[in-house]
Each structure stands twice: as structure tokens, then as C-alpha cells.
Amino acid sequence: MRIYLVRHGETDWNKERRVQGSADIPLNDYGIYLAEETAKGLETVEFDIAYTSPLIRARKTAEVILAGRNVPLIDAPAIQEMNFGVYEGMCCSGEHRAPESAEFNKFFTDTGHFIPAEGGESVPELLERTGRFLEELNHNKELTGKIILLSTHGAAMTALLNCIKGNLDPGNFWAEDVPPNCGVTIVDVKDGVMKITEENRVFYKEPVRAWKVDED
């Protein structure tokens, strides 16, 4: 089995440094362009099946990558983005940063002490559900030898990769930073063992727009 994990393309909320989480925000034109460039980079990969977060930005990214192919695309809520509760929609960086964003920004700067907002999800909960999804993939005999696309999100993708690496410490969650929009990571699975063979490759030429938050 070979798995290609991809983070969705850019949205307006990404540009505005707004907290997205489970908010269903579509790709912007630049995000669609990034997905199109990624599609070109992956055009020789013969995908057998694809799983996507149900959120429109991830689904659209997968649809663009798979355009013109007869590849089943399955909604997988387990790889949906982390739910940030009442933090969602808040600007957490830049000149329009919300005064109350300091607590949320611990998610990036002090993840081990991040406390979910009302209605939100914790880092251990995110690791648990993404880890369970990987186990289900790994034990699905129908997927043996298949080439799989997973279209997901920044935090969810980081959780998936941390589960593969055995890094389940919330305090070390962002050891590799946030994956870039449409960054692709390849995971090979042999004899039930998952191994990352390439991480966060991009197929577009523009500089990667790194996610940064303002620290107090």
C-alpha cells in the first residue's frame, strides 16, 4: 500500500489568518491553482481510491487532483480538521488579530498546555481519531497493494503523521511545523508497518506561505 497525504489548497481564511477548524470554508482561486499544480505533479500516479475530509476545501482539492479519473472518492470524517469550537472565525495573527487570540495561539506555541474552547476538540482527541483511521486503513485487506489519496487539513495531517512517527506527545505536536497548502507526503506500508518516504513536497513554484502566529 502507498498513501499520498495532501493538505487542502488555500482559502481566504488561510490568507486572513482566521481559525478554520470545522468551519466549511471553500478554496479561493489561488487554492484551486495550487491543487491544479499538484494534480500535474501527481498525474502519473495511478490512484485506486481516495478518502477526503467532508469539508469542501479538502473535497475540492481531491476532486481537482483526480479530475478526469475514475477513482472512488469517499468521505472520511475521521480526517476532518480539528474542531476549535468558539475560536473558529477568530483572526489570530496580523493587524486584525483578536485580543482574545492569545489562548488559542497556545495551540501553536505551547501545544502541551492548549485548552480547547467551548465545543472544541483536544489534541489527544485529534490524535486518537486520526490514529484509529490509520489502523483501519492498515487492517483493511481490500486495500493491500493499493495506491491511496488522503485529502485532509493542517492539524489533521500533522496528527496523522505524528501517529505514524509514534509522536503522541501533545507538547511536541508541531515538531515539523504546519504542512504547506497542497503539501504532499508519501507513506509506504509494508507488512503492516507505515514508513514516511517523502514529506511535505510541493509541486508549485511559488514560495510556501508559512503559518505564523504572533507571540505575546
Question: What positions carry a catalytic annotation?
Answer: 8, 81
Instruction: Take residue 199 and report the three cell numbers written for it.
Output: 514529506
Output the CA angle 157-76-127, nearest 5 degrees: 40
Beta-sheet strands, E only, within 37-154:
49-52, 73-75, 147-152
Three-state SS for 111?
Answer: helix
| Axis crossing angle, helix 29-41 with helix 56-65, rounded to the nearest 10 | 40
Task: Name the strand (E) or helix (H) holding 2.
Answer: strand 2-7
Partners of 185 in the β-ladder: 5
Sign of CA dihedral 196, 66, 178, 162: negative
CA distance 67 to 76: 19
Q: For the sheet containing 73-75, what is the strand order?
A: 73-75, 49-52, 147-152, 2-7, 184-190, 193-201
